[in-house]
Amino acid sequence: MMSGARFVAAASSVLLLAACGGNTGVTNPSTGGPGVPTPPAASLTGAGATFPAPFYDAARFAYNQKFSQVTINYQSIGSGAGIQQLIKKTVDFGASDVPMNASELASAGGSDKVVQIASTLGTESMAYNLAGVSNGQLRLTPKTIAGIFLGTIKNWNDPALAADNSGVSLPNQSITVVHRSDGSGTTYIFTDYLSTVSADWKTKVGKGKSVSWPVGQGAKGNEAVATTIKQTPGAIGYVELAYVLQTNMTQASLQNHDGNFVIPSPEGATAAASQFLAVNPSQFSIVDAPGKNSAPISGYSWLMLYTDQPDKTKGTALVDFLDWLVTDGQQYAANVHYARLPSNIVRDDINSLKTVTSGGSTLLSVPAPS
């Protein structure tokens, strides 16, 4: 797994290349307008999902450039571990690609004790290492993806794959499946997708942050899954799009709900999200979305914090940062291959943050969104 220090370096490199006019295909955004609240001095800590880590690292670097009195440390240890760290109160905020469930909320003191906000929107790719098959050339359908991960499709020249890939030279080579070994929100989104499109998968495996995989080898974190695929000829796995694009991996074209083959992209995630307007911590799935351009394995990522903050100064700095993250900070999502949050989600996020208090006082002093 990539350490937090290595992630800081990676985020800084993206920003440096953008600022210097490097060939990243991204813009060099500003750190926000004059209406951004000035936070008190504080040192904040968070931990959790690897899915949004490139965005969080780019954003927290930029926030510290604007407000040097605030430092934010984020450790990408996986969604399940991030939730546990929040429950243990060893971090100021947790991060997960799936909101806390009833059992986890009970461990945190109850649903009224925790605020959960959507922080970014992304999509997953099916990344592969297959000699002679270029980016987007491999076509995968819901049926063949499920077959590969169930272990019923074992070779790259399987007739089911060949039927969808006319004109592509698929080798007589064993398929090596790579999946997450840790409790992962990325895994939840992927297995939610498989459970939606495959009755066999839903019955035999199901969905969750951790599942009993029928086949394959595990790796900890999106970073390690990506590295394993790149180092293993014949490998395939599910990886968050930002890792695929930043490391020049090859990814498949995926057949979406409407039957169109699309290469996962931030625009595809936005198209998928537009089909699900009533998103909240208890109704959050946007996989297998209808729509011509929808990326089929898309999802929101979430941040969690306690409703009652024991330290008013730190709590104020935290909600000020999160308010910036879901508004002006969204420019950094686009900068590292995530999609900006829809306006209705931003409105819900700010309303949720305005319920955070310390000693009975509301901490976020921004106008209520319309």
Read off the CATH number of the domain in which 180 is found: 3.40.190.10
pLDDT at 6: 33
Average pLDDT over residues 196-213: 98
| 162 in the same domain as 108 | no
| 277 in the same domain as 139 | yes
At 25-62, the pLDDT tens digits run: 344 454 544 567 899 999 999 999 999 999 999 999 99
| 235 in the same domain as 311 | no
pLDDT at 15: 34
Contacts of 276 (CB under 8 A, 6+ apart): 285, 286, 289
pLDDT at 29: 53
Average pLDDT over residues 172-195: 96
At 304-318, the pLDDT tens digits run: 999 999 999 999 999
Q: Where would I find the beta strands (DSSP E) of the chain?
A: 42-48, 70-76, 93-96, 114-128, 139-140, 176-180, 217-219, 235-240, 250-251, 253-255, 261-262, 298-306, 357-358, 361-362
The three-class DSSP label of residue 357 is strand
The answer on pLDDT for 358 being more than 70 is yes
Answer for the pair 105, 89: CB distance below 8 angstroms, yes or no: no
Cα–Cα distance for residue pair 34/38, rounded to 1 Å: 10
Answer for the pair 76, 221: CB distance below 8 angstroms, yes or no: yes
Cα–Cα distance for residue pair 122/196, rounded to 1 Å: 18
| 331 in the same domain as 288 | no
If one counts the domains in the chain, the total is 2
Classify residue 102 as exposed, middle or buried by CB count within 10 Å of its CB (0-12, 13-18, 19+): exposed
pLDDT at 277: 87
At 242-289, the pLDDT tens digits run: 999 999 999 999 999 999 999 999 999 999 999 998 899 999 999 999
At 217-244, the pLDDT tens digits run: 999 999 999 999 999 999 999 999 999 9
| 313 in the same domain as 243 | no
> pTM for the whole thing?
0.89
Tokens 């799935």 locate to: 285
pLDDT at 77: 95
Q: Is residue 367 part of a domain?
A: no
The answer on pLDDT for 17 being more than 50 is no
Q: For the chain, what is the mean pLDDT?
A: 91
| 309 in the same domain as 289 | no
Domain coverage including residue 60: 4-120+299-362
Average pLDDT over residues 121-133: 97
